[in-house]
C-alpha cells in the first residue's frame, strides 16, 4: 500500500504573526525560518549534529526505548536571554494524561548548543513572536527546550505517545531538525473549540510549526522504518508568560 503524505500549509515569514492571530497556527519552510530568526540557514543546520548522542528517555510509561532527549530551560526578558539552573520537566495530568504528574529529570542541553549565537537569536525571536501574536504586554517569557530523537530501532517510534494534546503554555514551536529512513510521522492539528484541522508531514530540515497552545491541539503519528533503520529529530520549544509549569506538591 502506497504511503500518502500531505504537504505543509506554509506561510511566508512576513505573514506568520497574522496567521497565528487568525488561525492559531503557522508553518514556515526552512528559508522563512532563517529569515524570521535573522540568521543563515547554515547556522541552524550546524546544530543538527547535537542530536546524534541524546541520552535515552527513561520515563516512557509504555516501556518503549524509542525516544532520546535533552531538556533545558531559559528566561527571555526583552532582549536578555538566560539559562536557568537545571530543573525537572513537569506537566499536570490535564495536559499529559500519560506522563503528567511526574517530575522528569532529563540530561541538560550541551553548553556548545546553547552558547551558539543562533540559539540566542532563536530564544529572542520566539519571545518577540509570542508578545506580538498573542497581543500581550509581557516581555518576560519562560521557555522549555526539548531535543528529541524518535527512532525505529524497535520497529515503531512514537513522537507523541500521550496522543493529541495541549502543553499548558502560550506558544509552541516544533522544528524538524532531521528525518532519515522513516515513513509516517504525520503532524495533525485541531482547533480546541472548533471543527477545523490540518494534517501534513514536516520533511524539510528546519521547517517549523508554530501553535497558539490555548487554541490548538496537536499530535504526530508513529513512525516506521523505511528500510533498515531510521529516525526523526525535532526541537520543541514551549513558551509561557507566567512562569514555568510547577508541581504544587514540591
Assigned C-alpha cell, 234: 525535532
Give the residue among 238, 218, 241 at the shortest CA–CA distance from 91: 238
Assigned C-alpha cell, 135: 497581543
Measure the N-to-C terminal CA separation of the chain; round to a whole number of Å.
50
Assigned C-alpha cell, 70: 535533552
Is the pLDDT assigned to residue 36 strictly greater than 50? yes
Distance CA 216, CA 25 (A): 8
Partners of 199 in the β-ladder: 188
Q: What is the mean pLDDT of residues 193-200?
A: 94
Residue 74: in which H helix or E strand, if any? strand 67-77
In this prediction the pTM is: 0.94
Q: Which residues are within 8 A (CB) of 142 and not within 5 positions of it... i.e. 6 or more apart?
A: 73, 74, 75, 239, 240, 241, 242, 243, 244
Per-residue pLDDT band for 1 (boundaries 50, 70, 90) equals very low
Q: How many CB atoms lie within 10 A of CB 106?
A: 21
pLDDT single digits (tens) 67-84: 999 999 999 999 999 999
Assigned C-alpha cell, 14: 512576513
Residue 71: in which H helix or E strand, if any? strand 67-77
Give the residue among 131, 123, 175 at the shortest CA–CA distance from 21: 131
Distance CA 145, CA 152 (A): 23
pLDDT single digits (tens) 108-140: 999 999 999 999 999 999 999 999 998 888 789
Q: Is pLDDT larger for residue 1 or for residue 120?
A: 120
Distance CA 212, CA 216 (A): 6
CA 156 from centre of chain:
20
pLDDT single digits (tens) 130-183: 999 988 887 899 999 999 999 998 889 999 888 888 889 999 999 999 999 999
* Sheet containing strand 187-191, strands side by side: 197-200, 187-191, 216-220
Amino acid at each position: 500500500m502506497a504511503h500518502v503524505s500531505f504537504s505543509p500549509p506554509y506561510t511566508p515569514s512576513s505573514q506568520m504573526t497574522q496567521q497565528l492571530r487568525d488561525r492559531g497556527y503557522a508553518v514556515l519552510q526552512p528559508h522563512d525560518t532563517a529569515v524570521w530568526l535573522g540568521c543563515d540557514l547554515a547556522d541552524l543546520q550546524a546544530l543538527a549534529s547535537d542530536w546524534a548522542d541524546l541520552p535515552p528517555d527513561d520515563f516512557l510509561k509504555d516501556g518503549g526505548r524509542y525516544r532520546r532527549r535533552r531538556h533545558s530551560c531559559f528566561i527571555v526578558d526583552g532582549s536578555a536571554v538566560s539559562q536557568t539552573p537545571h530543573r525537572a520537566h513537569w506537566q499536570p495530568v490535564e495536559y499529559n494524561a500519560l506522563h503528567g504528574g511526574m517530575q522528569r529529570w532529563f540530561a541538560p542541553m550541551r553548553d556548545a548548543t546553547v552558547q551558539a549565537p543562533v540559539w540566542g537569536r532563536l530564544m529572542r525571536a520566539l519571545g518577540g513572536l509570542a508578545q506580538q501574536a498573542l497581543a500581550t504586554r509581557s516581555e518576560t517569557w519562560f521557555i522549555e527546550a526539548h531535543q528529541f530523537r524518535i527512532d525505529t530501532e524497535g520497529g515503531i517510534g512514537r513522537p507523541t505517545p500521550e496522543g493529541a494534546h495541549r502543553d499548558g503554555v502560550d506558544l509552541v514551536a516544533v522544528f524538524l531538525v532531521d528525518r532519515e529512513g522513516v515513513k509516517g510521522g504525520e503532524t495533525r492539528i485541531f482547533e480546541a473549540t472548533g471543527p477545523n484541522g490540518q494534517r501534513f508531514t514536516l520533511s524539510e530540515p528546519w521547517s517549523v510549526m508554530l501553535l497558539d497552545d490555548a487554541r490548538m491541539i496537536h499530535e504526530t503519528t508513529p513512525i516506521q522504518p523505511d528500510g533498515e533503520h531510521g529516525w526523526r529529530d525535532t526541537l520543541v520549544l514551549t513558551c509561557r508568560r507566567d512562569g514555568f509549569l510547577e508541581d504544587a506538591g514540591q
